[in-house]
Amino acid sequence: MSKPLRKVVFPVAGLGTRFLPATKVVAKEMLPVLDKPLIQYAVDEAVDAGADTLIFVTNRYKHAIADYFDKAYELEAKLHEKGKGELLALVQGTLPRNVRAVFVTQPEALGLGHAVLCAKPVVGDEPFGVVLPDDLIWNGAGKGALRQMAELADAQQAGVIAVEEVPRDETDKYGIVDATPVDERSARIRYMVEKPKPAAAPSNLAVVGRYVLPSRIFSLLEQTTPGAGGEIQLTDAIEALLKEHGKVLAYRFEGTRFDCGNKAGLVRATMHMAMQDPSLAPTVRDFLNAL
């Protein structure tokens, strides 16, 4: 039995400019794929990995996320009164009873690394997960990506970063790893480069939004100076961890990733989830054929 990953950080304090004007008032993480907001898919994956403490790094515009996981007294009372048990269970089930949500503020959007650092007082001294909710990873009835990673991290006593093969001509959109294969799915990372041009990319293995990291990363983040775009980059702190011979594995997870941080990805995820739902699939198929 591997040790569960107890704490998972959700950095959700970004500005979400790719979804303006919607994100003027709706947090990007609250955009729905069918009937669930992106943050719910992310939370379900963390709970599946064994997490009992979820740390949301938010900003003053993102109160909706806290409200979403809070009790909705009036709505719940009404649904109860009307005997709508199934709907009531949905409303009450956003967060399992044994799981607590902690909200930490990132006062200024100083980068993903800085957002993760804001969670330091809650995480303390143990390995923890980081989930970026705009990467929706679907593995059907199989193990969630974060659970797969947590098991590997525990077995190998290593940090684990999710990677995916991307087309060669798209390496300049991602963090790319140079790694020595360990087995079919994992490889030991030698170094990482942020958004290399295809000719300079050491591989086509791109970092996606799931990490299992040792608490050592916090001290390294504290020493990290602003990098690309004036932001404190998580990649730079991971690079520092690699330089001091920290063991970090790149892991090709089982499942399909949808980059819901952009419009095409959100549409793809929505279509995919609709096609998984027998009550929707025929309608969607007919509609697409007609289009």
Applying CB under 6 A, the residues found at the interface with ligand UTP are 11-18, 28, 57, 106, 109-112, 114-115, 132, 134, 261
Q: How far is the CB of 113 from ligand UTP (least distance, A)?
A: 9
Q: How far is the CB of 239 from ligand UTP (least distance, A)?
A: 18
Instruction: Tell me the closest approach of the beta carbon of residue 271 to ligand UTP, in angstroms.
Output: 21
CB nearer to ligand UTP: give 11 or 88: 11
Supply the minimum distance, in Å, between the C-beta of residue 152 and ligand UTP: 23
Residue 167 CB, nearest approach to ligand UTP (Å): 20
Return d(Cα 54, Cα 46) in angstroms, integer.
8
Identify which of residues 49 and 208 has a Cβ nearer to ligand UTP in the complex.
Answer: 208
DSSP state of 110: -
Tell me how crowded residue 216 is: count the other CB atoms within 10 A of its CB.
16
Q: How many Å from the N-terminal Cα to the C-terminal Cα in the chain?
A: 50
> Greatest CA separation found in the chain?
64
- Strand ranges in 195-288 using DSSP code E only, listed in sequence order: 205-213, 248-252, 256-259
Nearer CB in complex with ligand UTP: 102/284: 102
Report the residue number whose CB is nearest to ligand UTP: 14
- Cα–Cα–Cα angle for 64, 27, 38, nearest 5°? 95
Nearer to ligand UTP, 88 or 193 (CB): 193
| Residue placing its CB nearer to ligand UTP in the complex, 130 or 177 | 130
Nearest to 11, CA basis, from 109, 112, 99, 108: 112
Surface-to-core class of residue 201, CB atoms within 10 Å of its CB (0-12 exposed, 13-18 middle, 19+ buried):
buried
